[in-house]
Amino acid sequence: MGAYMAAEGIEPQLILCSPATRARQTLALVLPKLAGEPSVEFEDGLYLASSSSLLARIRKVRANIQCLMLVGHDPGMHGLAVELSGQGRPEDLNRLASKFPTAGLAVIAFRTGQWSQVKPKAGRLDTFTSPRRLS
């Protein structure tokens, strides 16, 4: 997934990661492949967080961060991705609605320049993929 992100030019400036072992292991596999040197913050509040808690955390991200990456757990991550994705390719939206696989990647773009203004269904699902789809 990290190689895919690098090839697609997906360059998070900030990565918020659950402190859980599996989340850390996932990030450790992705991080060396990413371009640049993103800031990484491990936050206890991301462990098994609900979609509403994740959205509240996103809204607190500094305005100078243009690309944010979350590494967390289902069902919160799945719920958040579905909740934020109001537009996108219908087949991607349908696949996202049915399942968010382990190590899946949903890239959601917003028109607002402020994280504090991120709202449900305001995002565009630009990419939705999984390790299985890449192999």
* pLDDT value of position 107: 98
DSSP state of 47: T
Give the burial class of 16: count Cβ atoms within 10 A of its Cβ; 0-12 exposed, 13-18 middle, 19 or more buried.
Answer: buried
Say yes or no to pLDDT of 65 above 90. yes
CATH of the domain at 117: 3.40.50.1240
Confidence of residue 80 (pLDDT cuts 50, 70, 90): very high
Mean pLDDT, all residues of the chain: 96
Domain boundaries, position 43: 2-128
Number of folded domains in the chain? 1
Per the domain annotation, does 133 fall within a domain? no
Whole-model pTM: value is: 0.94
CB 40 within 8 A of CB 65: no
Per the domain annotation, does 135 fall within a domain? no
Q: How far is CA 97 from CA 30, 48, 79, in A?
A: 24, 19, 9
Residues 6 or more apart in contact with residue 122 via CB below 8 angstroms = 84, 86, 110, 111, 112
* pLDDT value of position 26: 94
Average the pLDDT over 102-127 and give the result.
95
Say yes or no to pLDDT of 122 above 90. yes
- DSSP calls for 90-122: HHHHHHHHH---TT-EEEEE-S-S-GGG--TT-
Quick: pLDDT tens for 2-57: 999 999 999 999 999 999 999 999 999 999 999 888 999 999 999 999 999 999 99
